């Protein structure tokens, strides 16, 4: 039988797949609007599609286990060295590899109360203890997180912007926090949504790596780069930290189509710019609708927004019945809240239409 700490793990609950809802509700898949998993509504970048088509002929061979081309592209793009890079099967994989490399039973891992659900999961799978620090205004209380660090703490996770609340930490607050964390504790700065930020909102995390050997910066191709289904994420760290993480990695953890697509989309500045533009326009539409409907929401710096609903479970059921998938936040201890990802204009309009009708009792 599995160890007690494995049996105690609450499984991750992903957004409901379109095909599943179509079956359940007898709906046509193309009428369903999925705004549940913070995916890119623009769909697969054309640059990535072309790269995937070129890479198809290599599929009988194993991928490049060291991701030479992708690491080289990341180095060019972000100004890091290849020995600082870890590639993952999504950044989820990177987070799990960090846990596997650095945690053992008895260790403690600090994160914020409403932070990404995968942090407690990967900590618990190693037998380490997750310490959830009460949030401040739905975001990280960095002072309280510092105070929660003790001799047993090995890793601190910070998501910036945070999922599922969309909150953002000011660059100087983050800089002071990283400087105050003891060097024996790894700070994992999860920047899955960083591309959506305006330049002045960004903490220079890559620049900070030279100063803090205990800093790991985690990023993903799943959001603004539009490759969620291919599963590719990456992290930058001190070469010794990156080396340790790479030792526990599966030899071929990032498949060849994902590597080829990621290389292509890194050079696709146009897709990235459109992602950010569609996101900020959609964010304005959704928050204006919440204001109009008198619904409270948490101002978000990411590609989703979390709002409070009078009866969130019933509203979610109603949205599902109408073919609109959002994310209930009960698993995060936010039972009154739903999270909606920013979609294309027509998807946002459909969500607002169904939401308005549901609230009006229609
Ligand atoms: N970190 C955060 C904060 C996230 O919200 C997500 C996606 N939901 C991830 C990491 C993981 O994304 P992926 O594995 O697709 O890179």
Express each pLDDT in 113-156 by its tens digit. 999 999 999 999 999 999 999 999 999 999 999 999 999 999 99
Q: Which helix H or strand E contains 147, and what residues bound it?
A: helix 142-148
Where does a domain end: 231, 249, 268? 268
User: What is the three-class DSSP state of 132?
Assistant: strand
Confirm or reject: Cβ of 92 under 6 Å from ligand 1: yes
Q: Could you give phi then psi for residue 189, rounded to 5 degrees?
A: -95, 105
For residues 252 and 308, state if they share a domain.
no
Q: For ligand 1, atom 2, name the residue with the nearest CA.
A: 192
> 80 is written with which tokens?
């890091």
Is pTM, for the whole model, over 0.95?
A: yes
Confirm or reject: Cβ of 90 under 6 Å from ligand 1: yes
For residues 242 and 189, state if they share a domain.
yes
Distance CA 109, CA 156 (A): 6
Confirm or reject: Cβ of 153 under 6 Å from ligand 1: no
As a whole number of angstroms, the longest Cα–Cα distance in the chain is 60
Return the CATH number at 294.
3.90.1150.10
ipTM over 0.90? The verdict is yes
With 80 as the cut, is the pLDDT of residue 362 above it?
Answer: no
Q: Residues 179-228: pLDDT tens digits?
A: 999 999 999 999 999 999 999 999 999 999 999 999 999 999 999 999 99
For residues 52 and 141, state if they share a domain.
yes
Domain containing 342 equals 4-43+270-359
For residues 12 and 106, state if they share a domain.
no
For residues 78 and 33, state if they share a domain.
no
């Amino acid at each position: 039988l599995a160890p007690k700490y494995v049996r105690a793990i609450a499984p991750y609950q992903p957004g409901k797949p379109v095909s599943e809802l179509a079956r359940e509700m007898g709906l046509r898949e193309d009428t369903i609007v999925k705004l549940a998993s913070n995916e890119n509504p623009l769909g697969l970048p054309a640059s990535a599609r072309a790269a995937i088509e070129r890479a198809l002929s290599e599929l009988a061979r194993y991928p490049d286990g060291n991701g030479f081309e992708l690491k080289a592209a990341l180095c060019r793009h972000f100004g890091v060295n290849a020995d600082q890079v870890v590639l993952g099967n999504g950044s989820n994989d990177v987070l799990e590899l960090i846990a596997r490399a650095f945690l053992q039973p008895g260790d403690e891992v600090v994160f914020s109360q409403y932070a990404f659900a995968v942090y407690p999961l990967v900590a618990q799978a190693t037998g380490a203890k997750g310490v959830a620090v009460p949030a401040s205004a739905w975001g990280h209380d960095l002072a309280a997180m510092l105070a929660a660090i003790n001799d047993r703490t090995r890793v601190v996770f910070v998501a910036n912007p945070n999922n599922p609340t969309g909150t953002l930490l000011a660059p100087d607050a983050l800089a002071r926090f990283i400087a105050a964390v003891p060097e024996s504790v790894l700070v994992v700065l999860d920047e899955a949504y960083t591309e959506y930020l305006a330049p002045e909102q960004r903490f220079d995390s890559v620049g900070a790596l030279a100063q803090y050997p205990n800093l790991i910066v985690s990023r993903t191709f799943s959001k603004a780069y539009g490759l969620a289904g291919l599963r590719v994420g990456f992290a930058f760290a001190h070469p010794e930290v990156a080396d340790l993480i790479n030792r526990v990695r599966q030899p071929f953890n990032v498949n060849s189509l994902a590597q080829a697509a990621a290389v292509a989309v890194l050079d696709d500045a146009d897709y990235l710019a459109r992602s950010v533009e569609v996101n900020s326009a959609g964010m304005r539409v959704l928050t204006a609708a919440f204001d109009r409907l008198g619904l409270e929401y948490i101002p978000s710096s990411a590609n989703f927004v979390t709002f409070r609903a009078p009866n969130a479970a019933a509203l979610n059921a109603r949205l599902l019945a109408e073919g609109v998938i959002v994310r209930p936040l009960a698993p995060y201890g936010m039972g009154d809240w739903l999270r909606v990802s920013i979609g294309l204009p027509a998807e946002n309009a459909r969500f607002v239409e169904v939401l308005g009708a549901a609230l009006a009792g229609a």
